[in-house]
Amino acid sequence: MPVIEVVVGDITRERTEAIVTAANESLMGGGGVDGAIHRAAGPRLAEAGAAIGPCDPGDAMVTPGFDLDPPVRHVIHTVGPVWEGGGHGEAEVLASCYRRCLEVADELGVRSIAFPAIATGVYGFPAEEAARIAITTITSAATGLQHVRLIAFDETTGDLLATELARRSASS
Ligand code: APR
């Protein structure tokens, strides 16, 4: 199992081999963390995204990191579920986002990856349940990754992720 860390910060400052963006299906950029990553990576990221998209919710696709500084080899684009109350398979789609990103990272042979709190912003997924899904999916995945960093943009999200990680570590 990889070393898993929870960090409060800006994912565009990460030094991992891959970073994940919470995209929309076009992969051509948007707001939130996707907007921040596209601004930092430059216009080629949207061009590359347009060339490989659209991406289905729950799936993940990869492009280079282009102008990200610190340099990041890969941006893995995943599309989270829009929260519609919880009865439309949102939890499974979110779990699939984490699973598919890990699979893509393993296919690329990367050893370190950074995730944002997928779907908990514009898409409205409740942060506590999203943290539980993220930690459960990552800790139960058979992955070759050595280092997984969960980047929270605010203390509340960071606390939720850290609590879930501690709970999971205590029970394993
Ligand atoms: N670094 C890390 N996390 C960030 C950053 C950043 N620079 N900026 C925002 N976040 C956090 C948000 O605070 C939230 O916790 O990323 C999490 C995901 O929020 P969103 O970016 O809104 O993503 P999501 O909820 O999945 O909605 C995706 O929003 O921006 C559009 O194009 C995107 O349509 C897509 C939708």
Domains and CATH numbers, the chain: 3-170 (3.40.220.10)
Q: Quote the tokens at residue 18.
A: 């891959």
pTM of the model: 0.98
Evaluate whether 68 touches 40 at the Cβ level (below 8 Å): yes
Pocket of ligand 1 (CB under 6 A): 10-12, 22-24, 30-36, 80, 116-123, 151, 153, 157
The pLDDT of residue 157: 98
Average pLDDT, stretch 155-166? Answer: 98
Q: Quote the tokens at residue 153.
A: 């943009």
3-state secondary structure of 150: strand
pLDDT band at 1 (very low <50, low <70, confident <90, very high): confident
Q: Which residues are catalytic?
A: 34
Give the CA distances from residue 86 to residues 32, 82, 83, 141, in Å, rounded to whole numbers and listed in that order. 22, 10, 7, 23
